A = this chain, B = another copy of it.
Amino acid sequence: MVGTMSVSVRDVAKTAGVSVGTVSNVLNNPDKVAAKTVAKVHSAIDELGFVRNDAARQLRAGKSRCIGLVVLDVRNPFFTDLARGAEDAAAEHNMSVLLANSDETSNRELAMLSLFEEQRVHGVLVTPVSDNLEPFIKARERGTPIVLVDRRSHDKNFSSVSVDDVAGGYLAASHLIETGKKKLAFAGGPISIQQVTDRLKGASKCTAEHPDVTLEIIPCRSLSILSGREIGEEILRRPKPNRPDAIFAANDLVAIGIMQACLTTDEISIPQDLGLIGYDDIGFAATAIVALTSIRQPTHEMGARAVELLIQEAEQTDGKRKVTRIEFQPELVIRDSTSMVSQQH
């Protein structure tokens, strides 16, 4: 019997000739119910087309089995990979991930946070737009666990999962120097983003150790392909002696933009005239026109670990809050955009 009216456990119980408690047990603790009864209940469920009402379940449970994830930009493969890691880890705990997109604006970020709070999600993972963590502190005080992803907490107040971006910057610059480059440039911005600053810091540290190497800083409006193209075009306008011989871009999108600009002319070839290295190792890096050398972050694992931290934090019923800050080490992935040897096209 199928219909548009709502079917409840009570209806199932009546049809199966058992009590509501038994139906609930069939759904949640099947081993506590006699096999014969389980069968009866299941057939009633099928017959009536019963679908468990999650709102009622949550109401009783006090918390939902969903985890909120607020990222800066769903279009950036880095974040969708991270989301996938979170989903996989959540699935192991029988939970789901709700993906939300702050679009780098505080307003949207706050709206999503409120939505998640009202939903009584198990917790919220967030890459905050700004340094002002006040709303998250408030939310946590109200009982919603919060974990920062891809971002260390300044105030050591939040658990977080991040990557050592200073080390990543060092790695990138050091690799460029090893390939014989001397006039390095760092392309990235806005500097309000912590990741950008850290990557630059690491690169500076490395170049400081090499007296014969210089590091120019080329600011950029946003971490997008378009910004990268603008930078590339600017470099093409320069007289040759003023051009860097290698660029470390703050992320892969910027690097790809620079690459596109350079390859529209014959003036600059990669990597001979210009070594190029990106950051994040998004899937697109390997398939770029000239396969892009990049700094890989354990994206999937970051998402997964963040979920673990969140669940752990949610279990801390006592007043004490244990703050755990996980920091991964980045990894250099060498491809054609810096390596003369493996040029195979």
Residue of B nearest to A116 (CB): B54
B119 adjacent to A55 (CB under 8 Å): yes
Nearest Cβ in chain B — how far from A283, in angstroms? 8
Chain B residues near A226 (CB-CB < 8 A): 287
Whether, in the assembled complex, A229 has its beta carbon less than 8 Å from a beta carbon of chain B, the answer is yes
Chain B residues near A98 (CB-CB < 8 A): 98
Within 8 A of B (CB), among A213-235: 225-226, 229
Binds B, one of A153-161, A243-251, A260-268, A305-313: A260-268
Whether, in the assembled complex, A141 has its beta carbon less than 8 Å from a beta carbon of chain B, the answer is yes
Known: A141-B2, A263-B263. A120 touches B80 (CB 8 A): no
A287 adjacent to B257 (CB under 8 Å): yes
A51 adjacent to B118 (CB under 8 Å): yes
Within 8 A of B (CB), among A270-297: 284, 287-289
**Size of A's binding interface in residues, CB under 8 A:** 49
A265 adjacent to B345 (CB under 8 Å): yes
C-alpha spacing A288/B260, complex, angstroms: 7
B49 adjacent to A141 (CB under 8 Å): yes
Binds B, one of A57-65, A127-135, A175-183, A201-209: A57-65
A4 adjacent to B143 (CB under 8 Å): yes
B119 adjacent to A49 (CB under 8 Å): no
Known: A96-B115, A117-B51. A62 touches B289 (CB 8 A): no
B287 adjacent to A289 (CB under 8 Å): no
Whether, in the assembled complex, A238 has its beta carbon less than 8 Å from a beta carbon of chain B, the answer is no
A49 adjacent to B138 (CB under 8 Å): yes
B118 adjacent to A53 (CB under 8 Å): yes
C-alpha spacing A306/B257, complex, angstroms: 34
Nearest Cβ in chain B — how far from A228, in angstroms? 9
A55 adjacent to B59 (CB under 8 Å): yes
Whether, in the assembled complex, A36 has its beta carbon less than 8 Å from a beta carbon of chain B, the answer is no
Nearest Cβ in chain B — how far from A37, in angstroms? 23
Known: A59-B56, A118-B53. A260 touches B289 (CB 8 A): yes
A55-B56, A55-B120, A260-B289 given; 6 more Cβ-contact pairs under 8 Å: A4-B142, A54-B55, A54-B118, A74-B99, A99-B99, A265-B345
